[in-house]
């Protein structure tokens, strides 16, 4: 049973609904209500779409403690899991606990080691350069999402999985449906099924004709009996979705944030110090947190969170965007400062489920930050900032379109 109200809580004020809206005109900042909760009641009940009332954890240290606690579960199929939307939205190992989670995750770990990702640098640089060549040869102004932010990470993950980029319309559309809060459970299931059929076909095809790619390496695990075709397919779907939507939104949203902070943009564009681009990656991840919607867990036994008892079976929601603005962890947290030490942010999550692809995400962002603004020093918005369509409807935050000129 999902968490319900304790009798002791009944006479307290109304349980706030989660998620909470951002303040008008502050698209980079967490909902003001989250800030108040962080200051006053760092552990509090919230009400989700289904009426359940899990605990909301808002402070950086408490979120890290919960996400790093082996007594909490990420099992999305369990009835105690605080769901973010209707439907059984589990996807391979992100919705599993150890030891099965670790067994599956380690099968794809090799592709994302710091060393193996570093070896992709020339290929990623070429993808970025080519995309910019093409964009500069085309119309001006243009939608940066369509022309650059989405193609770059899609091409990178297609390369890694050896998925034909010519099918990108198909998988981008389905990914979009799966991560939109406005999709019905049926639409989401249909999207997952379509991607599964598509990638399942590739998994099977590569069993006979393996290449030098991640799906072919999963094929070896199928042959050795460690993995079923179904499990391999689910992993491929997870990697495909996680590999392009997140980074695409980071590229577009960072560009908006930098255009609104011209001193930071100038610093990034004009520096010869590669360390600035590296720290800009972490600071922009901290500041923007494109995964909004709260990381979810439930307690498998009684645990203490923020000095209070959370009982076995109760849900926990950890919105990273507010943890990353905790003044205890990041002084002057609402200021974008690309020179600050910010590597300890939780934009990639924390605990054993922390993003496996983060070295690749970091590499892509660093190359984009070092290339895009130099090639287009006159980059500017081609619409009013107030008119930008921010994605308030998805599990991944960003902008739907980003009209720019240069």
Partner 1 sequence: MKVSVDEDKCCGAGSCVLAAPDVFDQRDEDGIVVLLDAEPGEHLHTAVREAADVCPAAAIMLADRT
Q: Where on the chain is the footprint of partner 1 (CB under 8 A)?
A: 67-68, 102, 105-107, 109-110, 112-117, 343-344, 348-356, 358-359, 362
Q: How far is the CB of 106 from partner 1 (least distance, A)?
A: 4
Q: How far is the CB of 246 from partner 1 (least distance, A)?
A: 15
Which residue stretches of 261-309 are H helix? 262-270, 274-288
Report the chain's C-alpha Rg in angstroms: 21
| Alpha carbons 206 and 193: distance in angstroms, whole number | 20
- Which lies closer to partner 1 via its Cβ, residue 98 or residue 187? 98
Q: How far is the CB of 68 from partner 1 (least distance, A)?
A: 6
Q: How far is the CB of 99 from partner 1 (least distance, A)?
A: 9
Q: What is the DSSP string of 328-347?
A: TTSSSTTS--TTS--TT--T
Q: How far is the CB of 344 from partner 1 (least distance, A)?
A: 5
Residue 71's contacts (CB-CB under 8 Å, 6 or more residues apart) are 299, 300, 301, 303
Helix 274-288 and helix 229-260, axial crossing angle in degrees, nearest 10: 100
- Find tokens 């998805």 and name the residue: 394
- Which lies closer to partner 1 via its Cβ, residue 125 or residue 278? 278
Q: How far is the CB of 346 from partner 1 (least distance, A)?
A: 9
| Alpha carbons 59 and 47: distance in angstroms, whole number | 19
| Alpha carbons 180 and 51: distance in angstroms, whole number | 20
Cα-based distances in Å from 80 to 46, 52, 83, 296: 15, 10, 9, 10
- Which lies closer to partner 1 via its Cβ, residue 106 or residue 223? 106
């Amino acid at each position: 049973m999902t968490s319900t109200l304790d009798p002791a809580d009944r006479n307290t004020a109304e349980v706030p609904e989660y998620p909470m809206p951002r303040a008008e005109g502050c698209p980079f900042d967490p909902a003001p209500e989250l800030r108040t909760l962080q200051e006053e009641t760092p552990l509090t009940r919230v009400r989700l779409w289904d009426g359940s009332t899990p605990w909301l954890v808002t402070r950086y240290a408490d979120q890290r403690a919960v996400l790093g606690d082996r007594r909490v579960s990420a099992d999305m199929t369990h009835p105690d899991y605080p769901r973010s939307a209707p439907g059984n939205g589990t996807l391979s190992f992100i919705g599993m606990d150890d030891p099965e989670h670790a067994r599956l995750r380690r099968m794809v770990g090799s592709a994302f080691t710091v060393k193996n990702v570093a070896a992709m640098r020339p290929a990623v640089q070429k993808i970025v350069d080519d995309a910019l060549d093409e964009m500069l040869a085309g119309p001006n102004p243009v939608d940066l999402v369509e022309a650059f932010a989405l193609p770059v990470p899609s091409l990178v993950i297609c390369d890694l999985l050896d998925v034909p980029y010519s099918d990108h319309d198909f998988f981008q559309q389905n990914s979009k449906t799966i991560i939109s809060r406005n999709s019905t459970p049926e639409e989401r299931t249909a999207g997952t099924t379509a991607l599964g059929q598509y990638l399942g076909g590739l998994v099977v095809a590569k069993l006979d004709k393996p290449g030098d790619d991640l799906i072919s390496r999963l094929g070896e695990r199928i042959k050795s009996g460690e993995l079923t075709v179904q499990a391999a397919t689910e992993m491929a779907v997870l990697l495909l979705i996680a590999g392009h939507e997140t980074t695409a939104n980071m590229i577009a949203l960072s560009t908006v944030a930098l255009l609104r902070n011209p001193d930071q943009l100038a610093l990034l564009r004009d520096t010869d110090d590669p360390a600035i681009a590296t720290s800009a990656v972490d600071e922009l991840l901290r500041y923007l947190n494109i995964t909004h919607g709260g990381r979810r867990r439930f307690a498998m036994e009684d645990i203490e969170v923020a000095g209070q008892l959370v009982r076995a079976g109760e849900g926990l929601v950890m919105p990273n965007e507010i943890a990353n603005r905790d003044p205890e962890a990041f002084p002057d947290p609402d200021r974008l400062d690309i020179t600050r030490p910010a590597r300890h942010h939780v934009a990639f999550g924390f605990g054993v489920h922390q993003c496996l692809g983060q070295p690749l995400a970091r590499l892509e962002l660093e190359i984009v930050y070092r290339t895009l603004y130099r090639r287009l020093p006159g980059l500017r918005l081609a619409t009013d900032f107030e008119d930008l369509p921010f994605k308030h409807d998805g599990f991944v935050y960003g902008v739907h379109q980003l009209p720019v000129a240069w």
